[in-house]
Structure formats: structure tokens, C-alpha cells
Amino acid sequence: MSALNTSARIAVIGAGAMGAGIAQVAAQAGHPVLLLDNRPGAAAQAIEGIDRQLGKRVENGKLSADSRSATIARLQAVEAIEALADCDLIIEAIVENLEVKRALFRQLEGICSAHCILASNTSSLSITSIAAQLEHPQRLLGLHFFNPAPVMALVEIVSGLASDPALAECLYDTAKAWGKKPVHTRSTPGFIVNRVARPFYAESLRLLQEGAADCPTLDALMREAGGFAMGAFELTDLIGHDVNYAVTCSVFDAYYQDTRFQPSLIQKELVDGGRLGRKSGQGFYAYAQGAERPQAAEISSAATVDVCAVEGDLGFAQGLLGRLQEQGVEVLQRDGRGLLRVGDAVLALSDGRMACQRAREDGLRNLILLDLAFDYAKAQRIAISHAAGIDPLALEQGVALLQRAGLKVSLLSDSPALAVLRTVAMLANEAADALLQGVASAADIDLGMRAGVNYPQGPLAWADAVGLPHILSTLDNLQAAYGEERYRPSLLLRRRVAEGRNFHD
Ligand code: NAI
């Protein structure tokens, strides 16, 4: 079944933030769109709001005046549900309440024609359960847009137990025709994005709770080493802690309190204290006028280093060597097991063991562990950690070497897998479990995370690039260090390593 053609009549129920955005997307794609809300006048107001938004785009030269008026002419506010009788697709974006949504769809079945597709924009409710009491549950699917709908490219096409696969294809093709990037997913808690993204917040929150570093340092590491657009604290301040915490709690409960999704007491305290983020003027950071953003912590060294030696292959961190050479540092090559020596210091990419543990187990004095960077050739900052009792001169030499490569250096307490490596390993682990459980394909999971939350790379492709054996040992070591189920590696990750295959093979 191909995309609905532009003469197909679309209705959107709920003229709030999401409904208005979805109506705008459909109208801009050329469909006649009816907008309905149970608050009298709300649909008409939403259309006025869309018109104002489009007006700004016209003023900025991003949209023609003709496109604006044509879009607005296709939008019609209606006040009675009976007006939706001859629609081809009805998208619901009302309050997030199972019983209210069920009642609405039951009512719609009595009004609309047999061929009308029913869709819900729910982000946390089960499509199977919304559809369960319908006469024709096969025609109900999830069509999950991201906020703001006109801007965000991702749309999750969610199939419940009864959903008709042909209709899932039709909605997929339709979303594509609307300029979106659709992905297919089964109706499981959090679908793709709200599930796989949980560790991004959870691991930074845990590092903060353990005093590994402060918020600005962890945020800077996620941006300047991890390649993410924002760190977890600035992002949750933007999303709103009430919203982000509620999603975490809902996913945690839906997976029967699997500790992988355990909510954070630090975030709960912010919610309890009304520190909801930007919207309340205070979250992890202060947003009052004139409030200053604290700086990321950085250590520096005045030592001079002109030569270092690589023993073996630094693995994914190999890009560091080119940077050092470009800056005139002589890099000697020797056989060995992936170490970088400078003066009395020895540097290595973290494998998930704490520095104290690895130094003892591998007999390495003055060990400095390096965190993961998205691209070592381009990163601006890197996290390091070391065991207590490191020779201060060796630390100076190690930091000086990283500075020679043009990196800012942030020191974390001796935490397993530091910040970026731990986050990426856990994102990949969650993505692997979603893949194992048939929630979505590897391609759709990765696309979901790139288009839905702007990750620089899909977690599965990222893990492939780092090397699945490295991700697996990182998780095994994290699990051993904490003694917690939370870090257990996915069966699929272990299987792929044993098979010598990548996720995208
Ligand atoms: P909102 O509160 O901004 O808007 C909901 C609108 O629905 C309101 O205008 C309300 O008057 C109307 N409404 C409530 N019950 C109704 C009913 N029985 N019949 C007709 N209209 C009714 O909510 P928002 O944020 O737009 O969310 C709507 C849906 O989209 C929810 O299911 C939510 O989970 C989902 N969603 C929200 C996202 C977000 O970031 N806000 C992202 C993706 C999905």
C-alpha cells in the first residue's frame, strides 16, 4: 500500500502542542486537515498560532507567502466530532490517559467510515491496549511524532498486536511523503527512542550522584568528547524534569522495575523541589536573568613533552596519534597491548575497569585512563581518571601530552568506564536488547536515535565502530565493579561478539 494521496482527508484531535504541529505538517504536505479539540475555540486558536508561526517564516524568507496562505486554507477548525465522518486518517493527540483515548476511539468507530485509519500520537501508552476494545483493532496504529512536530524529522510508526501491517506500511510511506523520517516499531514501552535514550540521562545522573564530576563538566564531556548536541543536565533542564522523570518512571515500571531504567533520586529531588529546569527558572542550572553558567572543570600541565611511544594499537583511540604528530610530537611505535607511554605515565583507553583495578591487575604504574571520544581526531575535550597514589609528575606528563594534541582535559574520580564510554556502552546495550526483542530493525533503531534525539551516531553503528568486544568487556567490567544487574550485557551483544559479527553485518 502506498502513501495516502494529498486528497485524503486528515483529522487531528487535540489542538495542543503536538496536535497543532501535526496538523501543520499534514496541511503543508497538501492534505485538507480538520482540527478538533474539546475546549471550545481551541482548534481555531491553534490555527491562528500556526498562521503566526508561518508568518515568521515568511518574514525570514524561509517560506513563500503563497505557501503560507495555501497551508492555512487547508486547515479547518471543527467543533463536533461528527464532522470527521468522511476522513481517511484520524490522528489523536489528546491527553495521555488510556481510558480517555479508548473512549475517543470507540466513539470514532461509530462515526467514521470502515476504511478510515486511526492513529494515536501517544508516547507512553500501549497501542495494543488502546485498540483492544475496538470492533476493528487492526486499523489502529501509533503515529508518534516528536516535539516540535514541524521541526523534528522522526516519526515512529507503532504496531500493536492487532495492527494491520499494510496500514503500517501506508503510514510509513505517508510520513515519508510528508518529509519525515519514519521508522517501524512494535508497541513496547518507550517504543524505540524513549527506551533506548534512558541511559543517556541515567549514566550522567549516576556519575553526578557519585561525585565523579559536576554538571558543567559532565555536560561539556558529552558535547565536546561525545559529539552530542547537549549534555544530560542541560538537556533535562530544557525538557523539564517533571516530564523527563515521568518518562523514566513510566519506562521503569513498564519493564517491571528493571534496574537498567532506575530513576534517579537526584532528579526526583529537583521535581519535589519544583526545580523543573528552564521553565521554572532553576534546574541543575539557574536561568534567572544574569545567572552565570558554571564552567567545566579542566586540569592543565606545564610539563614539556615532545615524544611518546605507542605499544600496539590504541584501538578506537588511534586518531589521537595523528593529532599528536601534527603538533610535532614524535610518536614511536612498539609492539604491545594498546598503551601510550609518555615519561613515567602510561595512558590507555578505558575498558570499564577502574584505574586502581586495572593498574593492579595489569601491573601498570602511573596508569591514566582515557574516556571514549566520538572522533579522537576532532574532539575538543577528553576525560581522564587515575588511581590514588599516581606520581604527580607522571600525571603532569600525561596531561601535557593530551594538551599537545589540543585537548582540554577533565579529571573524573576513578569511575568505571568514565563518562562517554559508559554512556555509549549502555545506549548500545539497550539498543541491542531492543533489536534482540524484535522491537525494530538495527537500521530503524539507529535512525530513530539520530533523527529523534539528534545523536551524532546510532548506538548500534557506534558500537560497531568502537568494536563490539570492547563494548562487551566494558559492560562486563561495569557489572563486576558495581555488582549490579543494571550493567548486564545484552545476550545479542555477547552473541555477536562470539560470532565475530557486528550489529550491522
Ligand atoms: P497538550 O496538553 O498540549 O494538548 C492536548 C490537547 O487535547 C488539549 O488542547 C486538550 O484540550 C485536548 N483534549 C484533551 N482531551 C480531549 C478529548 N477527549 N477530545 C478532544 N480534545 C481533547 O498535550 P500535548 O503535549 O500536545 O500531547 C498530546 C499527546 O501527544 C499525548 O498523548 C502525549 O503523550 C503525546 N506526545 C507529546 C509530546 C510532547 O513532547 N508534548 C511528544 C510526543 C507525543
Q: Which of 12, 18, 35, 100 to mutate to test the pocket of ligand 1 (most atoms within 8 A of CB)?
A: 18
Tell which atom from ligand 1 comes closest to the C-alpha of 145: 43
What average pLDDT does the segment 65-75 reach? Answer: 98
Distance 121 CA to ligand 1 centre (A): 8
- Which residue has its alpha carbon closest to ligand 1 atom 3? 16
What distance in angstroms lies between residue 93's CA and the mean position of ligand 1's atoms? 5
The confidence score (pLDDT) of residue 460 equals 98
Q: Quick one: pLDDT at residue 293? A: 92
Give me ligand 1 centre to Cα 95, in Å. Answer: 4
Please write the tens of the pLDDT for every residue from 230-275.
999 999 999 999 999 999 999 999 999 999 999 999 999 999 999 9
Per-residue pLDDT, 170: 98
User: Whose Cα sits closest to atom 2 in ligand 1?
Assistant: 16
Contacts of 171 (CB under 8 A, 6+ apart): 89, 117, 119, 141, 143, 157, 182
- Ligand 1 centroid, distance to 270 Cα (angstroms): 25
Q: Is the pLDDT score of 1 beyond 80?
A: no
pLDDT above 70 (res 404): yes
**Average pLDDT in the 374-397 region?**
97
Look at ligand 1, atom 19, and give the residue with the nearest C-alpha: 38
Per-residue pLDDT tens digits for 303-333: 999 999 999 999 899 999 999 999 999 999 9
* Ligand 1 centroid to residue 132 C-alpha, Å: 21
Residues 6+ apart with CB under 8 A from 198: 190, 248, 251, 260, 261, 430
Average pLDDT value over all residues in the chain: 97
Residue with cell 522522526: 154
Least Cα distance to 503 among 448, 455, 434 occurs for: 434
Helical (H) or strand (E) element with 469 = helix 468-482
Kindly report the protein residue whose alpha carbon is nearest to atom 44 of ligand 1.
123
pLDDT at 398 over 70: yes
Query: Of 306, 354, 361, 293, whose CA–CA distance to 481 is shortest?
Result: 354
Most ligand 1 atoms within 8 A of CB, residue of 84, 90, 94 to mutate: 94
- Calculate how far, in angstroms, residue 19's C-alpha sits from the geometric centre of ligand 1: 7
The residue whose grid cell reads 550493567 is: 487
Name the residues annotated as catalytic.
123, 144, 156, 194
Q: Determine the distance separating the centroid of ligand 1 and the alpha carbon of 235, expressed in angstroms.
A: 22
pLDDT at 74: 98
Rg (CA), the chain: 26
Distance CA 122, CA 130 (A): 10
Q: Which atom of ligand 1 is nearest to the CA of 95?
A: 14
For the CA of 14, the closest atom of ligand 1 is 7
18 CA: nearest ligand 1 atom: 26
Ligand 1: residue of 47, 79, 95 to mutate (most ligand atoms within 8 A of CB) is 95
Decide if pLDDT at 276 tops 80: yes
Residues with CB under 6 A from ligand 1: 13-19, 37-39, 42, 93-96, 100, 104, 121-123, 145, 147
Instruction: Please tell me the predicted confidence (pLDDT) of residue 319.
Output: 92
Q: Which atom of ligand 1 is nearest to the CA of 19?
A: 26
Give me the count of residues in the chain: 505
How confident is the model over 467-489, as a mean pLDDT?
Answer: 98
CB within 8 Å of 93: residues ≥ 6 apart = 12, 13, 14, 16, 18, 19, 22, 121
By the 10 Å C-beta count (0-12 exposed, 13-18 middle, 19+ buried), 290 is classed as exposed
339 forms bridges with which residues in the sheet?
Answer: 311
Residue 474 has pLDDT above 90, yes or no: yes
Mutate to test the pocket of ligand 1, among 37, 45, 82, 84 (most ligand atoms within 8 A of CB): 37
Please give the share of the chain, as a percent, with pLDDT higher than 70: 100
| 3-class secondary structure, 97 | coil
Q: What is the pTM of this model?
A: 0.96
Q: For position 343, what pLDDT does the model report?
A: 97
pLDDT above 70 (res 447): yes
Segment 325-366, tens digit of pLDDT = 999 999 999 999 999 999 999 999 999 999 999 999 999 999
